[in-house]
Amino acid sequence: MKPHLLSLTQLAKGLRAKEYSSVELVRGFLDRLEAHQPMLNAMVTILREPALAAAQTADRDLAAGRGGPLTGLPIVHKDLFCTEGVRTTCGSHMLDNFVSPYDATVVAKLKSAGAITLAKANMDEFAMGSSNETSYFGPVRNPWNTDLVPGGSSGGSAAAVGARLVPAATATDTGGSIRQPAALCGVTGIKPTYGRVSRYGMIAFASSLDQGGVITTSAADAALLMREMSGFDPNDSTSVDRPVPDYVAELDAPLAGLKIGLLKEFFDKGLDAENEKRVRAALAVYEKLGAKLKEVSLPNLPLSVPAYYVVAPAECSSNLARFDGVRFGHRAKDPRDLMDLYKRSRGEGFGAEVKRRIMTGTYVLSAGYYDAYYLKAQKVRQLIAADFKRAFAEVDVLMGPTTPTPAFSIGAKTSDPITMYLNDIYTIGANLAGLPAMSIPCGLVGGLPVGLQIVGPHFSEGKLLNAAHAFQKETDWHSRVPERFS
């Protein structure tokens, strides 16, 4: 089989069996990234020379019997993870010239395990978007149909893995930004429990919601990466000091007796009928494997979108106040005075969606509106978290669709922000409650991928990966590749 069609786990075995060298692997994937960049626009920066140098080092380590579990394996990082000496743009003109002086903890951990960074992936500006159309560097395109969006904000990561331009990528999820593009691009994506993966060096959008994770071709690959990048970080005050299980070792646990909750609120009139058929067919596979299905209701879940679009913009307004044209990032030319510097630097540096969310967030935090909007949204957030807690007293995991429809056309929803925001209707609840959740491919509708979402209680990543892996051993949806990229 061609190396680009192999999973990360298979590539690791091949490296150790000396079927190919890390240099050969890295060069092959770099060639694919560069060849398909004009078509997909999935990358912001490609790091050919540093990646090849790292691959040479990896080959020496492997030959000497040294190296970590990821030694010599190529990955890409979403372009909001700080990478030392490399431009980190966050998909924005504001940070177009920012070269990070340090590595994010996620980058450092994966580097320490031996992974080689090939590139920085394109993304919605400051991770704000559901379609990867808000990037300063232009929209990313879906590998299954380049007229369609890949989903956002981690669209570059998902499109690159979906087209097999790279075997795995880091990503982040604030309201569905790992799971939604994973579903639309036909790949596996996991958002861990809030606090499980360090946010240090991850440029912030909404601090109480952002969480780093991965996009891969399979649950087994996701387990491999999550094992290496999870864990306590004293540099992150929201990091949880809790041992990290060996997710790889837990993959093959039997599913018999697993209690699956079907979220009543997900199977509503907004769900595309063909999407629902594919999800129901996937649930039948779980029944065949010995799982038990039970319908559960989260009555406050329909309030997740309005609650999220108060909390997230409020936190974004606060976090993005630091981009003032003084210390780093875009700086307006020849300012008349300090106020002119602030206004023009921010006006020129931020795109329309980021400005919209900053304005919304500033409004809901302002005197007279804080109690009416922000405080109320935080109370609703607690009600949603309580609903999830009650559901998990009855079932082990919750399942349902990841998105209401397959991928839509580029430009179809850019003029209507509210319609765009509703793309995250099934994913936002897990972020508000800080729960782990993942999306796996479960079928095709009109030649486009459909995702099955799995949500679990806090710190149940191992259970989610196990459930996903069991499904992927029975089906081949995760191994389907768009024809032009095979």
- Predicted confidence at residue 415, as pLDDT, reads 85
Burial class (CB in 10 A: 0-12, 13-18, 19+), 288: exposed
Dump pLDDT digits (tens) for 274-314: 999 999 999 999 999 999 999 999 999 999 999 999 999 99
100 and 80 Cβ atoms separated by less than 8 Å: no
- Predicted confidence at residue 419, as pLDDT, reads 82
Q: Residue 276: helix, strand or coil by DSSP?
A: helix
- Predicted confidence at residue 67, as pLDDT, reads 87
Dump pLDDT digits (tens) for 450-473: 999 999 999 999 999 999 999 999
Dump pLDDT digits (tens) for 199-249: 999 999 999 999 999 999 999 999 999 999 999 999 999 999 999 999 999
The arithmetic mean of pLDDT across residues 251-257, rounded, is: 92
- Predicted confidence at residue 321, as pLDDT, reads 95
Write down the H helix ranges in 21-152: 22-40, 48-63, 105-112
Answer yes or no: is pLDDT of 1 > 80: no
- The pLDDT confidence band at residue 414, using thresholds 50, 70 and 90, is confident
Cα separations in angstroms, 169 against 43, 216, 226: 11, 7, 11
Answer yes or no: is pLDDT of 428 > 80: yes
- The pLDDT confidence band at residue 143, using thresholds 50, 70 and 90, is very high
- The pLDDT confidence band at residue 417, using thresholds 50, 70 and 90, is confident
Burial class (CB in 10 A: 0-12, 13-18, 19+), 207: middle
Answer yes or no: is pLDDT of 46 > 80: yes
Write down the H helix ranges in 256-303: 273-288
Catalytic site positions: 78, 153, 177
pTM value is 0.97
- Predicted confidence at residue 213, as pLDDT, reads 98
- Predicted confidence at residue 437, as pLDDT, reads 98
- Predicted confidence at residue 391, as pLDDT, reads 97
- The pLDDT confidence band at residue 368, using thresholds 50, 70 and 90, is confident
Answer yes or no: is pLDDT of 420 > 90: no
Cα gap 75→7, rounded to integer Å: 12
Domains of the chain: 3-261+393-485 (3.90.1300.10)
- Predicted confidence at residue 423, as pLDDT, reads 85
The arithmetic mean of pLDDT across residues 383-387, rounded, is: 98
Cis bond leading into 153, ω under 30°? yes
Dump pLDDT digits (tens) for 154-199: 999 999 999 999 999 999 999 999 999 999 999 999 999 999 999 9
Average pLDDT, the chain: 96
Helix (H) or strand (E) holding 444: strand 437-445
- Predicted confidence at residue 48, as pLDDT, reads 98
Dump pLDDT digits (tens) for 324-339: 999 989 999 999 999 9
- Predicted confidence at residue 242, as pLDDT, reads 96
Cα gap 83→80, rounded to integer Å: 9
DSSP string, 409-433: BTTSSTT-HHHHHGGGTTTHHHHHH
